[in-house]
Structure 1
Amino acid sequence: MDLETLIATVREQMPERRWVHTQGVMGTAVILARRFGADPAKAELAAILHDVAKFWKVDKMEAAIREEGLFTDVLNYDKELWHAHAGAYISRRDYGVEDDEVLGAIRYHTSGREGMTLLEKVVWLADLIEPGRQFPGVDDIRSVAENDLDEALVAGFDTTLGFLMEKKKKIYPLTVLARNDLLAGIKNTN
């Protein structure tokens, strides 16, 4: 499927405000990819598809996750995580994306994971700091992202974890592992 057709198809599956968000993630992902040495075309593709299943009914997301059968543990956690796993699966199944790096960036754009690839980091951060996002501390994270991808990610994970704890939500273990792994990497380079 060519990029123009893919964009049109994905856009049809979400409300206009989510499409505006997706466009923001696309632009931010390309900027971050160029800044930190990831492939801009892969970053754009992952960004286009990152929320493709976001507005599916919960039972449809669950069915996709169960059909894939690889990451069913996510079903024990907040439904906000499900669209990433369902989206990665259908990106391969329905949109012909075969690149495991792109699929990983889609799959882990909400949770992160230990040993994140450069592309996963770029898409995760782009989703958090795209221009339409407004939350306390986002401008600080954007500022850090000008120079240090991993430090910006840690700041982003701190914000995310703080939000989840404040809302008394269960925390998906991969999110904690992602943050700890990033901290260990930063400590080893200092």
Structure 2
Amino acid sequence: MNLERLREDTQAQMPALRWQHTLGVIDSAVELAQRFGGDVQKAELAALLHDYCKYWPIAEQRSEYAAAGLDPDLLRYDPQLLHGPLAAEIVRSRYGIEDAEVLDAIRYHTSGREKMTLLDKIICLADYIEPGRDFPGVHNIRESAEHSLEGALVAGFDSTIQFLLSKGKKIYPQAVVARNALIEENRSGKGNADETNA
């Protein structure tokens, strides 16, 4: 696998501003992996590819999603959710990436899931807090990320859910399940806290 080719191909899939976002997610993911004991190389790869097909036309995303035989229930929700699962399938088929952990981190970076892996959490959170992000509450999420992946992710999911509620949009149930599971992890002390800073 040629990382430079992956970078070039990924950059070609998106506008310049989204590429800057991707670079920010890579930097944030590497930093979080170092802080919380994750695999830095896997974090870099998943971060690079997480938005691979986000800017494909929605009709094309829907078509490719259906052709790949992915969960049809997701098609009933905001089409912004499609690019995660679709990107995982596309990069697997196009580039032969078979690492299930990397593919899952790409697949679930927008929705989360129950029993998120460390890499899932890193990519999802890096997507929320990369330096180019500017939305109400992002500073608090970044502060929380200094100490707890789970606490920061709960704050991120809360922000997303509140935004969707304010717009009268449907909430994908898996995101609520992910949020609730992260709260349980936090309460039980099984989460990934930075013991040096906690």
TM-score (norm 2): 0.93
The match for 1:64 is: 64
Deviations 1:116-159 (A, max 9, x none): 11100000000000000001111111011011111111111111
Matching of residue 31 in structure 1 with residue 3 in structure 2: no
- Following superposition, the deviation at residue 187 of structure 1 comes to 1.5
**Percent of pairs identical after alignment?**
54
Contact 1:32 1:126 in 2 (8 A): yes
- Following superposition, the deviation at residue 59 of structure 1 comes to 1.9
- Following superposition, the deviation at residue 189 of structure 1 comes to 2.0
CA distance in 1, matches of 2:72, 2:100: 19
The match for 1:101 is: 101
- Following superposition, the deviation at residue 89 of structure 1 comes to 0.7
Q: AA paired with 2:57?
A: K
- Matched residue pairs, number? 190
- Following superposition, the deviation at residue 66 of structure 1 comes to 1.3
CA distance in 2, matches of 1:86, 1:62: 9
TM-score (norm 1): 0.97
Give the gaps of 5 or more residues in structure 1: none
CA RMSD of aligned residues (A): 1.1
CA distance in 2, matches of 1:157, 1:87: 21
CA distance in 2, matches of 1:118, 1:71: 24
The match for 1:44 is: 44
The match for 2:20 is: 20
Q: AA paired with 1:68?
A: A
CA distance in 2, matches of 1:34, 1:63: 38
The match for 1:186 is: 186
Q: AA paired with 2:95?
A: Y
Over 4 Å off, 4+ runs? none
Give the gaps of 5 or more residues in structure 2: 191-198
Contact 1:64 1:89 in 2 (8 A): no
Contact 1:62 1:86 in 2 (8 A): no
